[in-house]
Structure formats: C-alpha cells, structure tokens
Structure 1
Amino acid sequence: MLSDNDITQLRDALEKGKPPTVWFTGRAVGVDPGKAGKVVSFANPAEGDFIEVKPTGSQDTLSFSKAELTLTRPKQRPAPKKPSPPPVAEPAAEQIYQPEPAAPAEKKKAAPRRRTVPPAEVTVTLHSTPRGDWTVDVVVGKKRSVRSMPIQAAAIHKIAKELPNQVEEAISAVMAAARQQHEERIAFLQAELDAARRALNELT
C-alpha cells in the first residue's frame, strides 16, 4: 500500500520525466500480485483509483488505488524444486540357464534276431468213395493235422470250379459215376417197391 509520502515521491519522479516503477499488491484487480508496472499519471481528485499505471508487457493503462500498489519490490519466490527422478533400478543380472550335460545314454543291446522259419509244406488230399462220399486229409510238414474229415459233395463241386480244368474234370467224373450209381440203386429199389405192391394187391 502506498503512503502519502510514496505518492509525493511518485509525483516528483513523473515531473522529472522518469515514470516510476510500482508493484501490484494482492488487492489489485485484473493483474497478478507482484507484477510490476509504470506510473504514467495521477488523476484529480486524488481519491479512489486515481493512479494510472501501465502494467509491464501491456499496452493498456489501468487505474488503481493506493491499496493496490506498493514501492516495495516483492521477494521472488524460489522456483519450485523439480522432483528428483526416481532412482533407476539397475537391471538384475540375467541368469542364463545352462542345462547340465545329459548322461550318455546306455546303448541298448540289440535283441537277437529270431531265425525265420520257412513255412511248412501243406498237403491237402481229397478222397472219394464209390458212393460219392468225400473226405479230406491235411498234412502240415510231416504232421497230419486233419484226418478223414467228411466234406459235402456240394462243397467239393464248388471248390472244383476254382481249380485247374484237369482237376475239375477228374472230380466231375467221380461225381458223375457216383450219381449214376445212385440212380441205378434208385431204379432197383423202385422195381422192388413195385413188385412188393403187386404182391400185396394179389393178397387182398
């Protein structure tokens, strides 16, 4: 705040052509407290906002009261300390994993190779009777595995079709002879049956 003596001092400086410097107090309106300005004139009467000041860096002239100005230069506030950067943690030493050398694998003993046994010779023999009954014998190597096993004539006839022609013809001849024998037997039995019927009719 300016006193009466301060006002007199400012007027004297203006009369000498030296615009005096003043600073704005916290009661100044429109400017920042602590900012400086140059007094350019005094209005009459010397009441209220009669001191005309041009703030530093401004082209405008503003009116202020004694309470808004001072000749005491405000102490400069120390610049706020910049926060110190947080300490940078040193990177931890990277631990490189080194696998332990693997124990040499034990060499597996090669399994003894089994001796390949060649397949045994198989002999299949078909037998037929004059009546057309069929049986089969199977010999594997030197061992007889099947002995006189009955087989139906229909199965033999079916198998014969898959065999060479000479074999099929031989089997077919045997079957034809057996068929003829059965036909002759049927004819004989039929004749006996007819004779028995005639004898029966004569007795009635």
Structure 2
Amino acid sequence: MSDTEIEQIATEIAGGRPPMVWFTAAAVGVAEGRSGKVVALGDPADGDFLQVRPTGSKDVLSFSPTEVTLTKPPRPAPPAQKSAAAPKTTTRKDPPVTQPSTVTSVATPSTPPSVVTANAAADGADSAAKAAAAKPAGPGTAGTTAPKPAKAPAARKRTAPEVTVTLTGTPDGEWAVDVVNGKKRTIRGLPVTSAAVAQAAKVLHPEVAEVVAGILEAARGVQQAKVAQLQAELEEARKLLEELSE
C-alpha cells in the first residue's frame, strides 16, 4: 500500500467513512481475500499502525500496509465439474457386399457374430464404468484419496506491549519519571517528590531502597549546604542594611 493510499484512508476516516480494505497473502491470522474496514490510523513508526476490524468480527486488529490492499481481489472461478469419461469403443465396419448381376433374389445378411460380440463387450464395459463411478469409494479402494479438511486460519496472537519505566534524579534532589508503552512514550519528564521516590524504593526491594537512600542523603547534604550559604548571604545583607540605616 502506497503513501498516497494511506493519505486517502486518513481522509476518508476523518470524513466519517471508514474505507474497505482486503487482506493479502502476507496478513497473519486472517484469510487472504477477506474484507475489513480501517477504523483508525496509528503511528507509522510502529509498523502495524492500520487498525482494521475484519468483516463479521467485533475485534479491531493492527496490520501493516503490506497486509492489506484497497484493490478488491477477483472472485475465484468455480471449479469445473469433471465428468466420468466413457470408454471409447470401436466397431469394425463390415465390407460392402457385392451382389452378382445374375442373382434373382436379395437376402438381407445378418449381423456378423464378431460385431455383436464387440458391441456386447462395449456395453458391458460402459455399464461397469458407470457402476464404478456411482459406487462410493471405500477405505480400501486403490487409486482414490479422501479429500483433506481445510485448515482453519491460525489465530492472530495478541502480545502485551512492553512497558519501560525510567526514574531520573539530579544531585539537587529533583526526580522525574518517563514511561514508554511498547514503542510509544506515554509519559515524559513527570515530576515526582523525593518522599514518593523513597517510599517506592522501599516497596520494590531492599537493595533498591539502599541505593535510593544514599542518593537522597547526598541530595540532602547539597540542599543543606545551599541553605547555609543562603543564610550567610542573608546575614551579610542584614549587616549592610543596618550600616546604611545609621
């Protein structure tokens, strides 16, 4: 499916007209030639970003552009019915009878025995062939194979997307959380408090809690140093203000 067709699908979806598509041989879990409607488009970077609801199904599945097409496939021609061919029989032609000119009466010749025998054999072979064609093939009949049942299409497996949670901290004690769901970043740089980080670390594992406690202690020391520096600057500013007031 080309980029132009993708843009056409997006336009029809925006207009409230979900376009009809047909599944190709590359589609997984859906029979080739089956139809469906594209109800939404995702991020092309995901690969399977076409959200399609197959005809007759309530489920919405994800497919790539190679698994569907806007071109309706032609209907397969019905299988031709094979008729049982009757065995060919050959009948020997009798040579023409030459009558002498002096014969005063003409006698009708009877059918030669050889012709009657050939016709009877042909009729017997024809009857045997028809009986064999009408008789259902048994389990032990040689030369016949029972039709194999068609395999049902494999169900498309649904796998839960991988979720990645990243906790980022600074030496000043500022914390943020990023969440990636599958290939999409759903949360970016969400601020969290140091108290929430410490509580979560205790719930996760003692080793995690120990590492986070060390980081928080270092951040606490940085903030205490800043407070001391600010207090010193404040005290110096007060002294200057008092000198200016005299």
TM range (shorter): 0.3 to 0.5
TM-score (norm 2): 0.35
Higher-helix-fraction structure: 2
TM-score (norm 1): 0.42
